[in-house]
């Protein structure tokens, strides 16, 4: 029996105009929700980053307990007998002959940290990703290894040549620096090394981890664009210390 015109009309699908309207509404909703999804992803990455720093804090605690209550030293700290290049204190292994593990990289060398991924922030978008260095961790290599966190290495910024952090036991640090100062932060070598841009997780000298909000990007703005620019150590760490104290 032939289908009536009314029945054929009832079974008709979407018109092109209706389909375009549905697609337009869908894309509008996606556009509205994408920033929220992006913020959620960054929040998750920030938590993972804080977890990494917490693991480093535990390793520093154990290292200090086994090494006269002192933190690891760095070849790039301010001691006159070393090469003072504080911008390089993201280096974990200098990649030269002999025992060249450096700064917080010594924690891996001494088996206080077992997973190399602990040194890498999931928000990092610069040149020093874990994937870039992953193979180098599993073999004897002369390649320089970088992480995504910056070790302070010195305590007294006004006289860094006499105050590398490994000269002080933790009790003396607590006595002479009662205010909480930052000893580890996002990569500070250049702008591309700063993992979060609008803030940073910081590890304080009491080995607690805090998120420092920097919505105005004051810290990011003073970082050099590249290695040809001067590296303002005092300005960077002083800014972090002041912000830590809530100023």
More confident residue, 1 or 231: 231
More confident residue, 141 or 57: 57
First to last CA, the chain: 85
| pLDDT level of residue 32 (50, 70, 90 thresholds) | low
What is the pLDDT of the chain when averaged over all its residues? 83
Give residue-wise pLDDT tens across range 154-188. 887 766 666 788 888 888 888 877 667 889 999 99
pTM for the model stands at: 0.81
Can you give the pLDDT at residue 232?
Answer: 87
- Least confident stretch, 79-88, 184-193, 198-207: 79-88
Task: Give the residue from 179, 187, 223 showing the smallest Cα distance to 204.
Answer: 179
- 247 has a pLDDT exceeding 50: no
DSSP assignment of the chain equals -PPPHHHHHHT----HHHHHHHHHHHHHHHHHHHHHHHHHHHHHHHHHHHHHHHHHHHHHHHHHHHTTTBPPP-TTSS-TTS---GGGTTEEE--SSSS-B-TTHHHHHTTS---GGGG--TT--SS--HHHHHHHHTS---S-EE-SEEE--BS-TTSGGG-BGGGSBHHHHHHH--S--EEEEE--SSGGG-SSSSEEEEEETTS-EEEEE-TT-HHHHHS-SSTTS---HHHHHHHHHHHHTT-
- 98 has a pLDDT exceeding 90: no
Mean pLDDT for 17-37 is 69
More confident residue, 26 or 103: 103
Distance CA 118, CA 50 (A): 10
| pLDDT level of residue 10 (50, 70, 90 thresholds) | low
Give residue-wise pLDDT tens across range 108-140. 999 999 999 999 999 998 999 999 998 888 765
Can you give the pLDDT at residue 191?
Answer: 94
Give residue-wise pLDDT tens across range 58-92. 999 999 999 999 999 998 886 555 567 889 999 99
Distance CA 220, CA 222 (A): 6
| pLDDT level of residue 200 (50, 70, 90 thresholds) | very high
């Amino acid at each position: 029996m032939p289908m009536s015109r009314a029945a054929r009309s009832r079974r008709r699908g979407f018109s092109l105009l209706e389909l375009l309207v549905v697609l337009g509404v869908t894309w509008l909703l996606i556009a509205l929700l994408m920033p929220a999804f992006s913020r959620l992803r960054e929040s998750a990455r920030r938590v993972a980053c804080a977890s990494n720093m917490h693991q480093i804090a535990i390793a520093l605690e154990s290292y200090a307990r086994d090494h006269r209550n002192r933190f690891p030293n760095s070849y790039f700290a301010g001691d006159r007998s070393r090469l003072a290049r504080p911008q390089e204190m993201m280096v974990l292994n200098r990649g030269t002959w002999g025992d060249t593990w450096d700064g917080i990289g010594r924690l891996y060398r001494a088996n206080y940290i077992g997973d190399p991924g602990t040194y890498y922030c999931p928000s990092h978008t610069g040149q020093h990703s874990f994937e870039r260095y992953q193979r180098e961790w599993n073999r004897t290599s002369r390649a320089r290894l970088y992480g995504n966190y910056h070790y302070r290495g010195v305590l007294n910024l006004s006289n860094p040549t006499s105050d590398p952090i490994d000269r002080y036991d933790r009790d003396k640090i607590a006595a002479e620096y009662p205010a909480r100062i930052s000893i580890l932060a996002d990569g500070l070598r250049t702008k591309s090394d700063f993992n979060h841009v609008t803030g940073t997780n910081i590890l304080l000298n009491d080995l607690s981890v805090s998120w420092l909000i920097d919505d105005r990007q004051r810290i990011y703005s003073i970082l050099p664009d590249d290695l040809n620019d001067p590296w303002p150590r005092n300005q960077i760490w002083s800014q972090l210390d002041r912000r830590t104290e809530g100023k």
